[in-house]
């Protein structure tokens, strides 16, 4: 009797497998593949070593498309800089506040949502400026595009999938830039001889 139960136990998964496969295929399974392209350059990197003990204010980015995007980018960058502990204090400021050590600003050169046909694209720049002498210590340009494509297993054909939203692409870029800034500010300060 023990042998019969073991044999039935083996056949039970084999009996259920075709039923599960039928539901999966009938449900319209698709394999989604992201296509991402990212370029960045840092033409100015004069050093932010030891700046973690200072204060910074992030001002709205200059947005050629819409001012709300500039405010959104600055607010998100502020959050990421706080999260990464880049400075002792980081605030979002509509206007240049007195008494801060660094001003962080940027520009949104291109924002476009791709929909189903083209990739979503974001081109931006970020600058960290020392307020004592108005010198730009860090300047980063970044370009990203992202699209998703899918292949329907049931119908064996490509299907349209919406590209990621502008916010999703921009947030990934800003978080990476905030991490880079924090990695520089948290280096020990170097004294000039």
Q: State the residue range of the domain holding 94.
A: 29-185
Within a domain: 64: yes
Q: What is the pLDDT, as a whole number, of residue 119?
A: 86
Within a domain: 103: yes
**Among 94-98, 105-109, 138-142, 186-190, where is mean pLDDT lowest?**
186-190
Within a domain: 122: yes
Could you tell me the CATH number of the domain that includes residue 41? 3.40.50
Residues in the chain: 193
Within a domain: 9: no
- Mean pLDDT calculated for residue range 92-104: 93
Continuous segment of H or E residues that includes residue 33: strand 30-45
| Residues 6+ positions from 21 with CB-CB distance below 8 Å | none
Within a domain: 2: no
Within a domain: 105: yes
Q: Please tell me whether the overall predicted TM-score, pTM, comes out greater than 0.85 for this model.
A: no
Within a domain: 19: no
Continuous segment of H or E residues that includes residue 80: helix 67-83
Strands 135-152 and 30-45: what pairing? antiparallel
> How many domains does the structure of the chain reveal?
1
Residue 70 and residue 124 in contact, taking contact as beta carbons nearer than 8 Å:
no
Highest mean pLDDT among 108-122, 152-166, 175-189: 175-189
Query: Over pLDDT 70: what percentage of the chain?
Result: 73
């Amino acid at each position: 009797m023990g042998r019969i139960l073991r044999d039935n136990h083996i056949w039970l998964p084999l009996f259920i497998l075709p039923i599960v496969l039928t539901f999966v295929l009938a449900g319209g399974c698709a394999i989604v593949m992201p296509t991402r392209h990212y370029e960045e350059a840092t033409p100015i990197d004069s050093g932010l070593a030891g700046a973690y003990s200072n204060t910074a204010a992030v001002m709205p980015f200059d947005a050629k498309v819409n001012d709300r995007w500039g405010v959104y980018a600055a607010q998100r960058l502020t959050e990421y800089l706080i999260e990464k502990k880049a400075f002792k204090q980081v605030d979002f400021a509509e206007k240049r506040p007195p008494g801060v050590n660094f001003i962080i600003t940027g520009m949104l050169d291109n924002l476009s949502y791709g929909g189903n046909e083209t990739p979503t694209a974001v081109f931006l720049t970020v600058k960290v400026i020392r307020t004592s002498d108005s010198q730009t210590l860090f300047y980063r340009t970044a370009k990203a595009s992202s699209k998703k494509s899918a292949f329907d297993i049931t119908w064996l054909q490509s299907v349209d999938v919406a590209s990621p939203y502008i916010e999703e692409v921009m947030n990934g870029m800003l978080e990476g830039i905030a991490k880079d800034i924090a990695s520089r500010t948290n280096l020990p300060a170097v004294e000039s001889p």
